[in-house]
Amino acid sequence: MKLVDSGNKAGANPSRADLFLNRELSQLAFNRRVLAQAEDRAIPLLERLRFLCIVSSNLDEFFEIRIASLLAQHRIDGTPPNMQAIERMSAECHDMVERQYAVLNQEILPSLAENGIHLLRHEARNAAQRAWVKNYFEREVRPILTPIGLDPAHPFPQVVNKSLNFIIELSGKDAFGRGTGIAIMKAPRVLPRVIQLPADISDNTTSFCLLSSVIHAHIADLFPDREVVAYSQFRVTRNSDLWLDEEEVKNLRQALQSELHSRHFGAAVRLEVARNCPAHLADFLLDQFSVDKHHLYAVDGPVNMVRLLELIGHVKQVPLHFPAFTPRIPQALAADDIFAHIKRQDVLLHHPFESFQSVVNFVRAAAHDPNVVAIKQTIYRTGMNSDLMESLIIAARRGKEVTVIVELMARFDEEANINWAERLESVGAQVVYGVVGLKTHAKLALVLRREEGSLRYYAHLGTGNYHPTTTKHYTDFGLLTASTPITTEVNEIFIHLTSLTKPKRLQHLWLAPFSLHKEFIKAIRRETAIARQGRPGRIIAKMNALQDESVIRALYAASAAGVKIDLIVRGACALRPGAKNLSENIRVRSIVGRFLEHTRIYYFRNDLAHDVYLSSADWMNRNLFRRIEVAFPIHDKALKKRVIDEGLRPYLKDNVNAWELDPEGRYHKRKSRSNTLAFGAQQHLAQSIGSIASDKVGVMDDGAVRLASPSWSVQQNEVKRF
């Protein structure tokens, strides 16, 4: 396979499948890598359980969005689905779910029991525990259960997306002498799914039971004078992608509020039942929800494993968790006058190793500073509780001009964002919702401060969300700057987003959907031209996903010209690395560890100019053409070196959490060689930047050098230059 062009066309007529890996299968491969974390015995036990729950959550979204999209497209325009790919997805999902529950039942739960933590099924509970559970059922559960016997007056009820439900088969006659044989019952969402039993009946252990187990044990009590023949818990997953007719929408917020309710009742795309659910009951449910049998999952445990996260929160045994981690707050930003320091020099923040509190303090200081006249900010995800949003409200109340661009279509955060928009408007802030049809995904905050008779701009630009929870668990970079060339262009972007006027030509910031894609392609082709002239060409890029075909074709052309390319892609990757005559100079790796890799970094050697851009955008079509995105340069040489030393080099050296992608789309876990010390990028950064407990490097039974539990000690040598 040979490329004949500078990046747009492939020679030898290769098929699309030869050039690009399947997006959905690549996404499932990422979940395999997360599942591998749950299988890793070097990771603390409760963290392994957490990874199992993350896999379940990821699969939920995969069905709600990706599978739902494939099925809906076929129904809407008759586009024939790729049945071979769908069958592979189905097989992969079934195999992954089977492995999940095997790890839960054969490894995690027995190991927890060895540590005095028990998740008790009915048959494992002693007499005192059964009595307590029965009392709990009668007092807390039964009063709010509503079993519905199915008959013409009681049709099959609406079942909410991902809710816990039960199907019950009954014999005999009902109170009216009729043979209503099937009942459906919803488990109320107000009840906890994991219930801790009192210590005095737990024999000096920590014991829990699931709400589903409590209901199972007493389901017969709900149907006196009837025999319960069979029953099963079940859960249905529905299409959760919101759709709005952009040409018809007059008020985006009102339209979205109306649409949010329908999300709970979209087309069903998956049915989960208990392993012992009788086939005829499963078939009955499949028929009711119009779900294909290939999307039936019979599981050996709770149908919603995500709920086990509640158990993790209850257990405080330190050795079963990752060691406590304290992010660093840069000393300069702890001073009273944060603006004076930013004016002297740019500040680079590397989260979560450095605290996001510095960003919160920046906005809070602006809210209270009498010299600040205006604050502008974009909000994509921020959560239900946010000190940062509260500071914006305070700023508006104090009479400052506050402009907030709230993205209402941030998937699964729509309700929280609507609530914040309403609160901000109620105190006089100017709230706009970006551009209809383009999600505002850029992470920008701008402070206008009056100094010596004129306005001075201060800005924060980031790769991650202004979210108090995710900033503790996602890796991201942020830049605090008073640089006039950058801050002036940030202000131009805000004017563009609020006025909808065409933005002025930007010299430093790359803005989607206008210049971002063009500039990325230009930078790749510049390295290609440099390599063709016999000089070293080098590209290193770190992102969440790589899907855009035009970017991939440009990278293939760069590889053919001799450019050395390293791609650190956490999730789905459509590029085939290392393929003969196509991508022999491209390597792709994925890092999966304690923190979610979320940073987007784009490095181009450019004849030793070492261009470094940080961005909110992945190399995906949606980011480059259907979102408002910003890529911003790091100009300060010291900070540029930090981005390279902290954001790229350690990840290229990692032999603990790294997976390497082969040309066929398979990932292989990279292992340290016998004469090489284990090196984990996240562990290295946590110890060298933040504050974390150290543990010794140990040797596993197979002789391989591994990080001893809790798997957070690393060799901290200098990482070699790339």
Q: Which residues are catalytic?
A: 441
Residue type, 562: G
Does residue 619 sit in helix, strand or coil? strand
Parallel/antiparallel/unpaired status of strands 227-238 and 165-171 = antiparallel
Does residue 28 sit in helix, strand or coil? helix
Q: Which of 347, 396, 392, 374 lies closest to 455 in space, CA to CA?
A: 374
- How far is the C-alpha of 107 from the C-alpha of 120, rounded, in Å? 15
Please say whether the beta carbons of 214 and 131 come within 8 A: no
Distances (CA, A) of 219 to 275, 276, 566: 18, 16, 57
Read off φ and ψ for residue 521, nearest 5 degrees: -60, -40
Parallel/antiparallel/unpaired status of strands 600-604 and 611-615 = antiparallel
Q: Which of 318, 324, 317 lies closest to 691 in space, CA to CA?
A: 324
Tell whether 598 is in a known binding site: yes
Tell whether 474 is in a known binding site: yes
Beta bridge partners of 462: 443, 478
Question: Which two three-digit tokens encode residue 327?
Answer: 């992010």
Residue type, 427: V
Question: In which region does residue 17 sit, left (phi positive, over 0), alpha (psi from -120 to 50) or beta (all else)?
Answer: alpha
- How far is the C-alpha of 164 from the C-alpha of 152, rounded, in Å? 24
Neighbours of 475 (CB within 10 A): 27
Tell whether 496 is in a known binding site: no
- How far is the C-alpha of 465 from the C-alpha of 467, rounded, in Å? 5
For residue 719, the surrounding DSSP H or E stretch is none
Distances (CA, A) of 35 to 32, 592, 656: 5, 10, 15
For residue 57, the surrounding DSSP H or E stretch is helix 45-61
Please say whether the beta carbons of 79 and 73 come within 8 A: yes
DSSP assignment of 393-427: HHHHHTT-EEEEEE-TTSTT-HHHHHHHHHHHHHT
Q: Which of 324, 620, 359 lies closest to 464 in space, CA to CA?
A: 359
Tell whether 570 is in a known binding site: yes
Tell whether 307 is in a known binding site: no
Tell whether 32 is in a known binding site: no
Annotation: binding site for Mg(2+): 381, 411
Which residue numbers belong to the known binding site for ATP? 58, 474, 570, 598
